[in-house]
């Protein structure tokens, strides 16, 4: 893991994140301030794995946060961008306990997502269960599909 970290420097990760954010902004028709992305990347020591799923009525974001306490997770929305941030603390060394290997990553994390314009930001909800954060991003009523019955004469 240390060898991999040595090969990938922080500037490379920051540039990949910036490129991803710019592409998301172009595809969604929105952009985010450059400074916010750099700050989020600078604060991130690790990045949680996330799935984004779309259903008929909402988008769901499932973030894996094992070992993270609910109180250490923060969600915010600003100018159409949902930011998930928090921290996973490294266990404190105790007398009589010696670590032989530490492979899990600890520290701060931050991920930002440009929300589609059809999301109703006022109705966003989230739940945290068994180390998985699920964020519900409901679609606005006008974005939901409607069926119209056609009369044949």
Task: Report the SS3 class of residue 13.
Answer: helix
For the entire predicted model, the pTM comes to: 0.64
pLDDT at 104: 86
pLDDT at 12: 64
pLDDT at 141: 77
CATH number of the domain enclosing 64: 2.60.40.790
Q: Are 90 and 106 in contact (CB under 8 A)?
A: yes
pLDDT at 40: 47
Q: Are 115 and 140 in contact (CB under 8 A)?
A: no
Asked if the structure places residue 149 within a domain, the reply is no
pLDDT at 85: 95
Asked if the structure places residue 153 within a domain, the reply is no
pLDDT at 97: 86
Domain count, the chain: 1
Q: Are 87 and 72 in contact (CB under 8 A)?
A: yes
Q: What percent of the chain has pLDDT over 90?
A: 42
How many CB atoms sit inside 10 A of residue 69's CB?
A: 12
pLDDT at 22: 64
Asked if the structure places residue 147 within a domain, the reply is no
pLDDT at 30: 47
Residue-number span of the structural domain to which 40 is assigned: 2-142
Q: Quick one: three-class SS letters along 14-55?
A: HHHHHHHHHHHHHHHCCCCCHHHHHHHHHHCCCCCCEEEEEC
Contacts of 85 (CB under 8 A, 6+ apart): 40, 43, 73, 74, 76, 108, 109, 110, 111
Q: Pick out the chain residues at pLDDT < 70.
A: 1-15, 18-19, 21-43, 143-146
């Amino acid at each position: 893991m240390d060898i991999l970290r040595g090969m990938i420097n922080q500037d490379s990760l920051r540039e990949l994140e910036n490129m991803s954010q710019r592409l998301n902004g172009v595809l969604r028709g929105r952009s985010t301030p450059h400074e916010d992305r750099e700050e989020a990347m600078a604060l991130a020591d690790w990045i949680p794995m996330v799935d984004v799923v779309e259903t008929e009525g909402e988008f769901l974001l499932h973030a894996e946060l094992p070992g993270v306490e609910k109180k250490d997770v923060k969600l915010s929305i600003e100018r159409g961008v949902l930011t998930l941030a928090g921290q996973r603390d490294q266990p404190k060394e105790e007398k009589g306990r010696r670590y032989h290997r530490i492979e899990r990553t600890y520290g701060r994390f931050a991920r930002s997502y440009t929300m589609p314009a059809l999301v109703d930001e006022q109705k966003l909800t989230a739940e945290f269960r068994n180390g998985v954060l699920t964020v519900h991003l409901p679609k606005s009523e006008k974005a939901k599909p409607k069926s119209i019955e056609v009369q044949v004469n």
